[in-house]
């Protein structure tokens, strides 16, 4: 499904973000990506989305080398990937429904198809009665659910969740992770970057631990420490 083969990434200013890392993630896995700030987690996400290119090595998704794609093929790649970022990126001048429908509009889906899919997704994430409200009217947990709803609206094969519980209380954090697990059970490969020790230790999923651009641990049923 996802393969990093001896990947290094050095940015123009000289920062070595990733240093010769390799890993393979199977279809349908749930993986925690952990490590301190600056460990390289965000760079992994950016490489998978083809926002940046590796300095060395190759990246494969479903057997296709995505390391140096054309702009057209990058667009096709991103249709397979949903991303729920820490800084949310919701549009505050649009309702929850409009935010979630945006990806489907870009893909050229028909109006009725968009309506049906958005309603399905909002029901799945527990926001079926929030479609007509604006992001500023949502609680922190609802806001994060809306972000996830938009990320999965196009039924991606892979979902990246970057610190989805970062600003939430423990109870709401568990609800968000339960939602991600539910999405994962539907067949979506989920990669969650997090600093939340309690959740990582509780769920006992695969853990890939980055530090200073290197993988220092890759463990099935792992813990944070």
**In tens digits, what is the pLDDT along the chain, a chain of 225 residues?**
899 999 999 999 899 999 999 999 999 999 999 999 889 999 999 999 999 999 999 999 988 899 888 888 888 888 899 999 877 679 999 999 999 999 899 889 999 999 999 999 999 999 999 999 999 999 999 999 999 999 999 999 999 999 999 888 999 999 999 999 999 999 999 999 999 999 999 999 999 999 999 999 999 999 987
pLDDT of residue 75: 85
Question: What are the structure tokens assigned to 13, written together?
Answer: 């200013």
Which tokens sit at 164? 């989805």
From CA 43, how far away is CA 59, in angstroms rounded? 13
What's the Cα-to-Cα distance from 181 to each of 32, 93, 169, rounded to whole Å? 12, 30, 18
pLDDT score for 113: 96
Burial 145-161 (b: 16+ CB within 10 A, else e): bbbbbbbbbbebbbbbb
d(CA 2, CA 31): 12
Assess contact for 28 and 37: CB atoms under 8 A. no
pLDDT tens for residues 49-61? Answer: 999 999 999 999 9
Please say whether the dihedral angle defined by the alpha carbons of residues 142, 150, 95 and 167, taken in this order, is positive or negative. Answer: positive
Check residue 74 and give its pLDDT.
87
Q: Which CATH class is domain 2-80+156-219?
A: alpha beta
Q: Both ends of the chain: CA-CA distance in Å?
A: 27
Regarding pTM above 0.85, the answer is yes
Residue 194 CA to residue 16 CA, distance in Å, equals 21
The 10s digit of each residue's pLDDT in 65-95 is 998 888 888 888 888 999 998 776 799 999 9
Per domain, the residue ranges of the chain are: 2-80+156-219, 90-146
């Amino acid at each position: 499904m996802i393969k990093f083969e001896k990947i290094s990434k050095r940015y123009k200013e000289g920062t070595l973000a990733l240093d010769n890392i390799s890993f393979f993630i199977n279809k349908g896995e749930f993986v925690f990506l952990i490590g301190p700030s600056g460990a390289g987690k965000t760079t992994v996400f950016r490489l998978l989305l083809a926002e940046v290119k590796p300095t060395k090595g190759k990246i494969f998704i479903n057997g296709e080398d995505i390391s140096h794609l054309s702009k057209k093929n990058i667009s096709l790649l991103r249709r397979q990937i949903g991303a729920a970022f820490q800084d949310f990126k919701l549009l505050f001048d649009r309702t929850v429904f409009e935010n979630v429908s945006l990806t489907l509009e870009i893909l050229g889906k028909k109006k009725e198809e968009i309506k049906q899919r958005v309603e399905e997704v909002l029901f799945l994430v527990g926001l079926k009665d929030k479609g007509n409200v604006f992001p500023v009217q949502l609680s922190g947990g609802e806001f994060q659910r809306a972000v996830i709803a938009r990320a999965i609206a196009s039924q991606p094969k892979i979902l990246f969740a970057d610190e989805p519980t970062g600003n939430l209380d423990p109870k709401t954090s568990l609800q968000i992770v339960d939602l991600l697990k539910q999405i994962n059970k539907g067949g979506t490969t989920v990669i969650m970057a997090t600093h939340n020790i309690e959740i990582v230790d509780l769920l006992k999923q695969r853990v890939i631990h980055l530090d200073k651009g290197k993988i220092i641990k890759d463990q099935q049923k792992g813990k944070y420490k």
